[in-house]
Chain A
Amino acid sequence: MFSNWQFWALAAGAGLGTLALRIVPLVARDAIGGERIREFFDRAGYGILGGIVATSALRSGQGLYEGDPVLGSVVALSCVLAAFALSVWKGGTIVPTLLGLAAFVAAGFLYLK
C-alpha cells in the first residue's frame, strides 16, 4: 500500500513533468523560428496526426468488436477513410464526421445484435 504523499508525488510529478515538456519548445523558440524548421514541424505534425487517427481508429474498432478485432479494425478504418474521402470531395468537417460516425454506429449495432 502506498502513502498519501506518494500519490501526491505521482499526480504532481506527472502533471508538472508534462508541463515541462511543453515548455521546452517555448524556451528554444529562436531555434525553431526558421521557415524550413517550420516546414519540418508541419510535416512531422501531420505525420503525428495520421498516426493518432490510425491508432485511435484501430483501438475503437477492436474495443467494440471484441470477438473479432480484425473485423473491428476494418470497419473503423473504413469509416475513417469514408469520412476523409467525403471531406476531400465535398469539403467541410461536420457532415463527413457525422456520416462516418453513423456508419460506425450502424455497423456496431448490427454486430452487437
Chain B
Amino acid sequence: MPSSKTDRLPAGEDASVWQVLLIAAGDALVVILTFLVMFMGVGQLSAEAGLNAVQTALMTSLTVAAPAQAAAMQILGNEAVASAAWAAGVVAVIIVNLRFIVMVASILSRLPETSFWRGLGGVGLISASSFAVILPRLMDDPPPRPILYCGLVGLMCSSSAVIGAVAGHQLAASVPVLVGASLGAMIPIYFATLIAKQRKKRPLMLNAFFGALLVPFAAPFMGSFALLVLPLAVAAISMLVDQRQDKGA
C-alpha cells in the first residue's frame, strides 16, 4: 500500500529493481490476496466450460478481468451460438474490456516518454484493479522508475489471478461464503481509501462521486459500457463546466 517510506528512496532511474519491487508489492498486496480467491471462481467456470488448465492460465494472464472471462464462459454454455461460441466469447471479452483503453490512457499520461516496447512492458497487463492501485500512486507520490513500477504491479496482479484461476480449475476449490464476500469487499473498501488520498482535488472527488452514483444505476441497462461511457461523459461535462467558469471569472 502507498506509504511515506518512499520518501527515503532515491528518486528517478537510480533506484534498484528491488526497491521498486517492494513499493509495487506493498501497493498491490490487497489486490494480490483478493485475486487469489476471486479468480478461483473464474477457474471453476472455465473448467465447467471445458477449457484445460493451460488455456485458463493463458486467458487469465493476458485478460486479467474476472467479469469479462465469466461473460465468455457464459457464452460458451449458450447452445444458440454453439458453432461460433468461441468468436462470440472473444468479442464479449473485448467489449467488456473496452474501459481498459481509458485506464491505460490515464496512466500513460503520467509516465515519462519511452519506447513502445518499454511502454508495453509498463501497461501491457493493466487491469481495473491494478489501475486503481497505480493511478493514485502516480498522482500522489510517484515512485522511482514509474514504468517499471507499473509493469511490476500489473505482473503481480496478473500472476496472482493466474494462480487463483488454475487453483480453482484444478481443485474446484470453493471458499466459505463469509471469506469470499469479505475478500470481495476488501477491494472497494481499499479503493475508497485510495480515492480519499486525492481529497484536496475537488474535480477528481466529484468525478469519483458521480461515477459511484451513476454506474450502478446504469449497469443493468448498459452492462459493462456503463463503466466506460458514464465516467467519460462526466469528465467531459466537468471539464466544460470548469472551462465556462474560468471564462466567466
Contact = CB atoms under 8 A, between A and B. Distances in A.
B41 to A, nearest CB: 11
How many residues of B sit at the interface, in one of the four size bands? Answer: 35 or more
A54 B190 contact: no
Nearest to B69: A14
B55 interface: yes
Interface string B218-236: 0100000011101110111
A65 to B, nearest CB: 9
Interface string A77-113: 0011101101110001110110011001100110010
Interface in B205-249: 205, 207-216, 219, 226-228, 230-232, 234-236, 238-239
A46 B182 contact: no
Contact of B215 (A9, A41, A54, A87): A54
Interface string B171-192: 0000001101110111111111
B106 A60 contact: no
Contacts of B24: none
A109 B113 CA distance: 50
A37 interface: yes
A70 interface: no
Given A47-B208, A52-B191, A58-B216, A7 B86 contact: yes
A107 to B, nearest CB: 10
Contacts of B55: 7-8, 10-11
Given A27-B116, A43-B235, A60-B188, A49 B195 contact: yes
B9 interface: no
Given A49-B135, A53-B188, A97-B189, A18 B208 contact: no
Interface string B127-161: 01001100100010000000000000000000000
B26 to A, nearest CB: 10
Contacts of A79: 185, 189
A112 B101 CA distance: 40
Contacts of B126: 22
Interface string A25-54: 111010011001111111111111111111
B28 interface: no
Q: Which 3 A-B pairs have the closest CB atoms?
A: A47-B231, A15-B62, A50-B211
6 contacts: A10-B86, A15-B58, A50-B212, A57-B185, A88-B196, A105-B182
Interface of B: 1-2, 30, 50-52, 55-56, 58-59, 61-65, 68-69, 72, 76, 82, 85-87, 89-90, 93-94, 97-110, 116, 119-120, 123-126, 128, 131-132, 135, 139, 177-178, 180-182, 184-199, 203-205, 207-216, 219, 226-228, 230-232, 234-236, 238-239
